[in-house]
């Protein structure tokens, strides 16, 4: 602590430095009471601070405190929205699991029990694949090393998205990529699937290609289907143009994707052929 007894100093009664910075009005008042200890601070040691040093420090600590609270609030809001997204994805299969177990406990009819077992098996697989996807696409993967093979990305994506409505095709998936790049690809898979609500084809071209001087395509994800669309809400979130306060559990995933893209130094470009196709390209400057 700075200590002085000369002219131009203010006497204050600190406990913790941050305390008297945030409670400075009380502290200064105590120090300006003619050098006599304030009743509110009786028993504390008198410490002297130079006003020219104290006030700038006070303003600095206040600014940090306010900024810290804002950052914490933003981080908590982001985490809450992402948790809501994961819960929304899991609620359907988990509820179906619970329904199947209730039928097994309450119904002795062989046909109903067989149906319940089938429901439990199907819902268990759905919940498992959604958790595997969330672990790789959103979480801090515990896989050894900094690389993820695209075969694993393909298997999870096909299990999650592929089915009667959407046909999933992968090209150039015979290589490993950095975890951040794999996360981007998996999140783009969900975003692209949502652009073809009536189903269609989802093509993942994972072979890097030079576009010309200074630019290379890392990934290309193309969705083809009837009524293909790309809403302005998702577009703003995917390009990082949306405010966190305006996001919801649906748009938080594109917003996360924009953060992942920026963190890798890549950039995004898309083309839309209304009602026919949407294509996303992840690009790298060379």
Q: What is the pLDDT of residues 46-102, one digit of tens each?
A: 444 455 555 565 565 556 555 555 555 677 888 889 999 999 999 999 999 999 999
Q: Tell me the pLDDT tens digit for each residue of 150-205.
A: 999 999 999 999 887 999 999 998 899 999 999 999 999 999 999 999 999 999 99
pLDDT confidence tier of residue 212, bands split at 50, 70 and 90:
confident
CA dihedral 180, 235, 204, 187 (to 10 degrees): 40
Cβ count within 10 A of residue 273: 10
Measure the N-to-C terminal CA separation of the chain; round to a whole number of Å: 52
For the residues 100-120, what does the mean pLDDT come to?
Answer: 90
Class of domain 145-286: alpha beta
Most confident of 15-29, 129-143, 173-187: 173-187
pLDDT exceeds 70 at position 15: no
**What distances in angstroms separate CA 218 from CA 146, 158, 215, 238, one per listed residue?**
17, 20, 10, 17
pTM above 0.75, yes or no: no
pLDDT recorded at residue 11: 38
Q: What is the mean pLDDT of the chain?
A: 79
pLDDT exceeds 90 at position 218: yes
Domain boundaries, the chain: 9-73, 145-286
Q: Tell me the pLDDT tens digit for each residue of 242-274.
A: 988 889 988 999 999 999 999 999 999 999 999
pLDDT recorded at residue 107: 83
Q: Which residues contact 53 (CB under 8 A, 6 or more apart)?
A: 2
């Amino acid at each position: 602590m700075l200590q002085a007894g000369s002219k131009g100093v203010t006497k204050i009664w600190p406990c913790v430095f941050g305390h008297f910075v945030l409670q400075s009005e009380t502290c200064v008042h105590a120090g300006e009471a003619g050098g006599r200890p304030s009743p509110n601070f009786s028993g504390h040691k008198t410490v002297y601070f130079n006003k020219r040093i104290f006030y700038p420090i006070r303003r600095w600590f206040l600014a940090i405190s306010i900024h810290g609270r804002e950052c914490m609030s933003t981080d908590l809001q982001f985490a809450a929205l992402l948790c809501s997204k994961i819960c929304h994805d899991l609620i359907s299969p988990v509820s179906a699991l619970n329904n199947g177990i209730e039928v097994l406990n309450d119904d002795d009819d062989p046909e109903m029990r067989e149906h319940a077992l089938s429901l439990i098996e199907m819902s268990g697989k759905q919940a498992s694949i959604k958790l595997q996807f969330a672990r790789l696409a959103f979480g801090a993967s515990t896989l050894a090393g900094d690389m993820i093979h695209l075969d694993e990305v393909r298997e999870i994506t096909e299990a999650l998205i592929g089915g009667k409505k959407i046909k999933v095709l992968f090209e150039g998936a015979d290589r490993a990529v950095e975890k951040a790049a794999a996360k981007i690809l998996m999140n783009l898979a969900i975003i692209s699937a949502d652009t073809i609500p009536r189903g269609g084809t989802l093509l993942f071209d994972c072979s890097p290609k030079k576009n010309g001087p200074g630019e290379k395509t890392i990934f290309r994800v193309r969705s083809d289907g009837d009524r293909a669309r790309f809403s302005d809400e998702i577009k703003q979130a995917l390009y990082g143009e949306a405010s966190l306060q305006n996001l919801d559990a649906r748009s938080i995933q594109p917003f996360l994707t924009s953060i992942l893209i920026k963190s890798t130094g890549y950039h995004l470009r898309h083309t839309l052929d209304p009602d026919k196709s949407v294509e996303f390209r992840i690009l790298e400057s060379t």
